[in-house]
Chains A and B, each alone.
Chain A
Amino acid sequence: DQQVKQNSPSLSVQEGRISILNCDYTNSMFDYFLWYKKYPAEGPTFLISISSIKDKNEDGRFTVFLNKSAKHLSLHIVPSQPGDSAVYFCAALGETSGSRLTFGEGTQLTVNP
Chain B
Amino acid sequence: EPEVTQTPSHQVTQMGQEVILRCVPISNHLYFYWYRQILGQKVEFLVSFYNNEISEKSEIFDDQFSVERPDGSNFTLKIRSTKLEDSAMYFCASNTGTGGYEQYFGPGTRLTVT
Contact = CB atoms under 8 A, between A and B. Distances in A.
Interface stretch (A18-26, A74-82, A94-102): A94-102
A8 to B, nearest CB: 15
A98 B56 contact: yes
Contacts of B105: 36, 43-46
Interface residues of B, number: 24
Nearest to B107: A43
A110 B28 CA distance: 35
Interface in A34-76: 34, 36, 41-46, 49
Given A1-B42, A89-B43, A99-B48, A46 B104 contact: yes
Given A43-B4, A43-B106, A44-B43, A98 B101 contact: no
Classify chain A's interface size. 20 to 34
B107 A101 contact: no
Contacts of A46: 102-105
Interface of B: 4, 6, 31, 33, 35, 42-45, 48, 55-56, 58, 91, 93, 95, 101-108
Interface of A: 1, 32, 34, 36, 41-46, 49, 89, 91, 93, 98-106
21 contacts: A1-B42, A1-B44, A34-B101, A36-B105, A42-B108, A43-B4, A43-B93, A43-B108, A44-B105, A46-B103, A46-B104, A49-B101, A91-B43, A98-B48, A99-B33, A99-B55, A99-B56, A99-B103, A100-B56, A100-B58, A106-B42
